[in-house]
Amino acid sequence: MKSKSRFFHVALTMLLLAGCGETPTKKINDISDLKDKTIGMLAQTMDVKGIEQLITFYTGPVKEVVLFNRTSDEVAAVMNGKIDAFMANDATVNYYAKRNPELKVIIPGKKVEGIVFMRVRSEDLELKAELDSAITILRENGMLKSLEEEWVTNLPASNEPVHAEIPKIEGAKTIYVGVTGDFPPLDYIASDGRPAGYNVATLTEIGKIVKINFEFVPIESLARGNALKFEDF
């Protein structure tokens, strides 16, 4: 079992993104219109039955649940009418809706708030303590809120998260962090192939406090667990 380090306390809720072009999805205006529709979701660590139960909890009965390896594939599937909607956290849903006029946000009938967290190896208790302490400092000094406003709340639709060079701390240890890019603007891979977005910006600030150099490694969502388990990063 891996230890979890709390990452940030922005309230996240599950929303759906549906198409509104000349496809059958144009009839989707609210949660009741999803009955007997095909819904997409990322195939992550939850089994298919668990994902189906999660979706029906928010939407009620649906026709079919289709699993995807990447959020970008879900967006393309909605745009092409291959699925009627997909479910993701509100930051990601709103990110894509702002950039695609043919997409609309559907608010589920039930609202459940959650948080985003980092996961470290169970034996890395010292690292977890350092991260948690730094997160507390950033929360108390207002930096977490500022980063949230810059990278999530107020990120213009005309802008994409961009990678910024992170100054190296001489003599500090290096920790490798896997980034999938599947949850923009939180977890994002820039056009040059390098990780960017809120999570990178936040870990950069954490690194300054705990004197750690973080290096970000692009990784497939489904590979994260094994990569951590077998110490690939």
Number of domains in the chain: 2
* Angle 107-112-116 from CA coordinates, rounded to 5°: 105
Both 198 and 170 in one domain: the answer is yes
Both 172 and 222 in one domain: the answer is yes
Both 100 and 123 in one domain: the answer is no
* Angle 158-112-204 from CA coordinates, rounded to 5°: 50
For residue 65, the one-letter residue type is: V
pLDDT of residue 136: 92
* Dihedral angle, C-alpha 76, 77, 79, 83, nearest 10 °: -160
Q: Provide the CATH number for the domain around residue 33.
A: 3.40.190.10
Which stretch of DSSP H or E encloses residue 177? strand 173-179
Question: Looking at the domain assignment, is residue 113 inside a domain?
Answer: no
Give me the helix-helix angle, 90-99 and 71-79, nearest 10°: 50
For residue 228, the one-letter residue type is: L
pLDDT of residue 7: 45
pLDDT of residue 62: 86
Last residue of a domain, one of 75, 106, 137: 106
Both 151 and 208 in one domain: the answer is yes
Both 224 and 122 in one domain: the answer is yes
pTM over 0.85: no
Full pLDDT tens readout for the chain, 233 residues: 344 444 444 445 667 777 765 554 457 888 888 888 898 888 875 677 888 887 888 888 888 889 998 899 999 999 888 999 888 888 899 999 999 888 888 888 777 666 667 788 888 889 999 999 999 999 999 999 999 999 999 999 988 887 677 888 899 999 888 888 888 999 898 888 888 899 899 999 999 999 999 998 888 776 666 666 655 55
pLDDT of residue 55: 83
Question: Looking at the domain assignment, is residue 123 inside a domain?
Answer: yes
Both 23 and 66 in one domain: the answer is yes
| Residue 195 near residue 180 (C-beta atoms within 8 A) | no
pLDDT of residue 129: 92
The DSSP code for 230 is T
| Residue 10 near residue 145 (C-beta atoms within 8 A) | no
Domain that holds residue 20: 10-106
Tally the residues of the chain: 233
Last residue of a domain, one of 56, 81, 106: 106
